[in-house]
Amino acid sequence: MRVQGLYSWHNPWFRWSVASVGALTVVSILVGFIWLPSVHGDFTAQGIWASICRAAGVPDDWSRADKAAAEPSPSTAVVLERTMARTGSSGAIGRGATLALQCTMCHGAQGMSVSDAPNLAGQYAEVVIKQLHDYRRGNRSSAIMQALSANLTDPDIEDLAAYYAYLPRARTAPASYSNAVPALVRVGDPMRNIAPCISCHGGTDQKFGTPWLEGMPVGYLTAQLKSFASGERRNDSHAQMRNMARAMSAAEIQAVAEFYARQGGAAD
Amino acid sequence: MYLARRLVLAHFWVAFAAFTVAIVLGEWQMFVRSPLHSWVDNPEHYYRSVTAHGTVMAYVFPTLIAMGFGYAITELALKRPLVGLRWAWIAFWLVMAGTVMASAPVAAGKASVLYTFYPPMIGSAFYYLGIVLVVVGSWIWVALMSINLRVWKKENAGATVPLAMYGNVAGAYLWAWTSIGAAVEILVLILPVALGFKDKIDAGLSRVFFSWTLHAIVYFWLMPSYIAFYTIVPRAIGGRLYSDTMGRVAFALFLVFSMPIGIHHLFADPQVGAGFKFVHAAMTGMVSVPTLLTVFTIVASVEIAARLRGGKGLLGWVKALPWKNPMMLAVTFSFIMLGFGGAGGIINMSYQLNETVHNTQWVTGHFHLIFAGAIVIMYFMVVYELWPQLTRCPPLPERLLRIQLWLWFIGMMVLTMPWHLVGLLGMPRRMAYFDYTHPALQPQAWTVIASTIGGFLLVLSTFLFLFILARAGHSTAVPAPFTFSVAVHPHARTPAALNTFGLWVALMIGLTLINYGFPIAQLALLEGTSVPAIPIGGR
């Protein structure tokens, strides 16, 4: 047995293996990059080289349409980053508490609202940061909040978020999600593509950037769901809430809002 | 056997202990999403279970079987003690430590990301580190297989490597190269995020790296079964291997073609160009060649056995086969499942047909039929064959073996055929529950009950398997020496190309670089492709 002689064109095993694998590769590439694209208008519109580039996954231009016209204005400019959820220093919480004095009229002295404005006590820091940025940039509309946020600097927003995250949050959900809980909250409705509320808002999982809802005023929750459904509110970056709310009936919106708004006991 | 008896036994026991836990989880999943049970209250529990089932069945169980069987082959085929026994035990304990390390966060709900990881979902870093340990343990095994072959070759210059060892080392090299994709994905892309150094991850690039591993890993699972087809089946049923060369060709072809094809898992992924998708689809077609060669060779070997037993006629010989022999039954069941599963696989690899079944229960049906069906049933036979060598037990009760194999075969068909059907009807995979009250779904409800019953038969079969092994007993008598199949022409000259691996490993690496090099380089260099990670179970 001559292993030395194996890697030589004279060895038929070497010759046939390398040649047939090479031929297979070349033929596959010719078919995949030239022949198949050639029968497709999208690929051939700009010539053979552009067609090969598109088949390789690198079009020279990702969109031939007029960019300025085609690009919709983004629904939010905030990219959620985990650093936003860091527990604030006591200094930050103190500064936040001072700044929060201008919020107490609507959001309550300790962040527990007595009006239809949302509770902020115990709200996740990244949620407060994102919403304030969205108000300030005009991605979420509210005559009052847009005006109030206009004067806040980025550090102000972080301090406010740190303060509210530090306050104890309302806890109203049951200990277990039994059949007594509305089905949409617990299991959603797969056939209508409605995910369960608890898969993001706490219960099964608490997704980053998703607000704490327990104890929120029922009027606030229904108003938000309705404005998501109508598309009036659109600062959910992946349209996740617009898609959920659009599929819900008015009665379902009411039931879900009432579930989360149930007046409950102590904070955790 | 010489030194590896306890080592192999440890691998097999741990493999099947993990397998038993995972199969019970699998059946639980089937049950809770069937109409026999109300909707699972917490869908996260379902995905936790899916993650544990997949992680054990894909990484832990087949790796331990391949390692254990590999050590056994090294001693039995090379007829010399295993070199590097201490390293083999270190590898075993690394796999054990990795398994525990990965299971704990999964059980705690901190890593319900499924065994395919799916960035930008990010679970606990311990989960990924555990899998790294399992893979590192298996890399030690790869090195040991290579070293043992080298030592044997030195002692037997010019001799032909026994077919079982050739297949074994081919499987080891295949795994070494295959596992690199997922290893890079975990070490370079996922772990920095899981450990908190980064917030964003390039999900598209991660998926391309994972596809490098995802398909070829199947051939790593499959190698022990193919080794059993070629080197145990013909002997066990009283025949001869039709062609030793064909076995070597099949193993070499698996080495060359199992890697550069993984992008057929990404047909629906926008980040990969259509040209590469086609090239991978075409090459995926090539892996059916070694399987077809194997089916032909093994059927021919079986025919030899039948004719030696007096079988006559064009097909009349089938009646003369030793149907009471568990190995005969197992190889028949395995080929039937391989046939259905392989046909389904050809549909999956086709760029256009894939559109109709992508992400449906069809896919789950396909890989259960191939892996849990055709492959695992041969794992059972490997363990049954080796058990007298490992424990010195008297011959195993053939009737119980046959019942166990029948249960596995029927269970697997009843589990997977309904999956194929509803997959074609569009039932998505990885759902924790279905609304069977919906008029569009109600007619499909029975299929989920059928699969639950199939799964139950598989659980029964598993417990029967454990029962057979546990009560096999021990004796002090030294077992008869283990033999592998003898070829029809045992002393035929083996060409150098089929007695070494260099050419095939070079083709494997070259083809992978051609088929993966550009997509990986392009995605890695493209800016702005990372997305914020989604931590799982973080709060």
Helix axes B244-257, B502-525, angle to 10 degrees: 20
Q: Which residues pair with A60 in a beta bridge?
A: none
The answer to whether residue B249 is domain-embedded is yes
Q: What residues contact A14, with CB distance under 8 A and at least 6 apart?
A: A6, A7, A8, B497, B503
Rounded distance, CA B292 to CA B298, Å?
10
User: Hey, are the CB atoms on B534 and A208 less than 8 Å from each other?
Assistant: yes
- Is B531 within 8 Å of chain A by CB? no
Task: Name the catalytic one among B33, B53, B366, B420.
Answer: B366
> pLDDT, tens digit, for every residue of B47-72?
999 999 999 999 999 999 999 999 99
User: Hey, are the CB atoms on A33 and B502 less than 8 Å from each other?
Assistant: no
What topology does CATH give the domain A183-261? Cytochrome Bc1 Complex; Chain D, domain 2 (1.10.760)
Q: What residues contact B498, with CB distance under 8 A and at least 6 apart?
A: A13, B166, B245, B248, B249, B252
Residue with tokens 């199947």: B218
- Nearest Cα residue to A80 out of A212, A238, A260: A238
B438 is catalytic: no
User: Hey, are the CB atoms on A18 and B519 less than 8 Å from each other?
Assistant: no
The answer to whether residue B493 is domain-embedded is no
The CATH classification of domain A82-166, taken from the options 1.10.760.10, 3.40.50.1000, 3.40.50.300, 1.10.287.3510: 1.10.760.10
Residues of A in contact with B520 (CB under 8 A): none
Mean pLDDT, all residues of chain A: 88
- Is A264 within 8 Å of chain B by CB? no
Which among A25, A30, A177, A181 is the top mutation candidate for probing chain B, defined by the most B β-carbons within 10 Å of its own β-carbon?
A25
Q: What is the pLDDT of residue A4?
A: 62
The answer to whether residue B393 is domain-embedded is yes
Rounded distance, CA B46 to CA B49, Å?
5
User: Hey, are the CB atoms on A18 and B537 less than 8 Å from each other?
Assistant: no
- Is B41 within 8 Å of chain A by CB? yes
The structural domain count of chain B equals 1
pLDDT(A264) > 50: no
Q: How many beta carbons lie within 10 A of that of residue B153, not counting itself?
A: 16
First-to-last CA distance in chain B?
52
Q: What is the pLDDT of residue A62?
A: 63
pLDDT(A266) > 80: no
Q: Residue B260: closest CA among chain A residues belongs to which residue?
A: A25
Q: What is the pLDDT of residue B296?
A: 97
Q: What is the pLDDT of residue A70?
A: 54
- Is B286 within 8 Å of chain A by CB? yes
pLDDT(A63) > 80: no
- Is B275 within 8 Å of chain A by CB? yes
- Is A33 within 8 Å of chain B by CB? yes
B367 is catalytic: yes
Given a contact cutoff of 8 angstroms between Cβ atoms, the answer to whether A158 and A112 are in contact is no
pLDDT(A263) > 90: no
> B534-535 and B531-532 as β-strands: parallel, antiparallel, unpaired?
unpaired
User: Hey, are the CB atoms on A57 and B522 less than 8 Å from each other?
Assistant: yes
Q: What residues contact B68, with CB distance under 8 A and at least 6 apart?
A: B7, B8, B9, B10, B11, B12, B15
- Is B500 within 8 Å of chain A by CB? yes
Write the DSSP string, B25-65. HHHHHHHHTSTTSPPPS-HHHHHHHHHHHHHIIIIIHHHHH
pLDDT(A55) > 80: yes
Rounded to 5 degrees, what are φ and ψ at B534? -115, 100
Q: Residue B281: closest CA among chain A residues belongs to which residue?
A: A28
Rounded distance, CA A255 to CA A20, Å?
67
Q: Which two tokens stand for residue B227?
A: 């080794």
Rounded distance, CA B258 to CA B260, Å?
6
Q: What is the pLDDT of residue B479?
A: 83
Residue ranges in chain B whose pLDDT is less than 70: 538-539
Residues 67-126 of A with CB under 8 A from B: 79-83
Given a contact cutoff of 8 angstroms between Cβ atoms, the answer to whether B297 and B233 are in contact is no
Rounded distance, CA B276 to CA B432, Å?
34
Residues of B in contact with A81 (CB under 8 A): 199, 532
Rounded to 5 degrees, what are φ and ψ at B241? -75, 125
Three-state SS across B217-246? HHHHHHHHHHHHHHHCHHHHCCCCECCHHH
Provide the 3-class DSSP secondary structure of residue B117: coil
User: Hey, are the CB atoms on B279 and A25 less than 8 Å from each other?
Assistant: yes
Given a contact cutoff of 8 angstroms between Cβ atoms, the answer to whether A183 and A191 are in contact is no
Q: Residue A8: closest CA among chain B residues belongs to which residue?
A: B503
> pLDDT, tens digit, for every residue of B80-94?
999 999 999 999 999
The answer to whether residue B147 is domain-embedded is yes
User: Hey, are the CB atoms on B503 and A13 less than 8 Å from each other?
Assistant: yes
Q: How many beta carbons lie within 10 A of that of residue B198, not counting itself?
A: 16
Rounded distance, CA B341 to CA B380, Å?
19
Q: Which residues pair with B81 in a beta bridge?
A: none
Provide the 3-class DSSP secondary structure of residue A187: coil
Q: Quote the strand ranges of B403-480, DSSP E.
A: none
User: For chain A, where are the alpha helices, taking DSSP H only?
Assistant: 12-30, 36-38, 41-44, 48-55, 67-70, 90-99, 104-107, 125-137, 143-150, 154-166, 183-186, 218-230, 240-246, 250-261
- Could you tell me the pLDDT band of residue A133, with boundaries at 50, 70 and 90? very high
User: Hey, are the CB atoms on B44 and A189 less than 8 Å from each other?
Assistant: no
User: Hey, are the CB atoms on B275 and A33 less than 8 Å from each other?
Assistant: yes
Shortest distance between the Cα of A143 and any Cα of chain B, in A, equals 31
Shortest distance between the Cα of A208 and any Cα of chain B, in A, equals 7
Rounded distance, CA B150 to CA B83, Å?
10
Q: Which member of B42, B502, B538 has the closest CB to residue A204?
A: B42
Give residue limits of the domains in chain A.
Answer: 4-65, 82-166, 183-261
Q: Average of pLDDT values for A140-152? A: 94
- The answer to whether the A82-166 and A183-261 domains have the same CATH topology is yes
Q: What residues contact B228, with CB distance under 8 A and at least 6 apart?
A: B378, B381, B382, B385
Residues of A in contact with B538 (CB under 8 A): 206, 208
Q: Which residues pair with A189 in a beta bridge?
A: A194
Q: How many beta carbons lie within 10 A of that of residue A251, not counting itself?
A: 8
User: Hey, are the CB atoms on B441 and A191 less than 8 Å from each other?
Assistant: yes
Domain of residue B164, CATH code: 1.20.210.10
Q: Which range marks the domain in which residue B411 is found?
A: 5-431+445-469+509-535
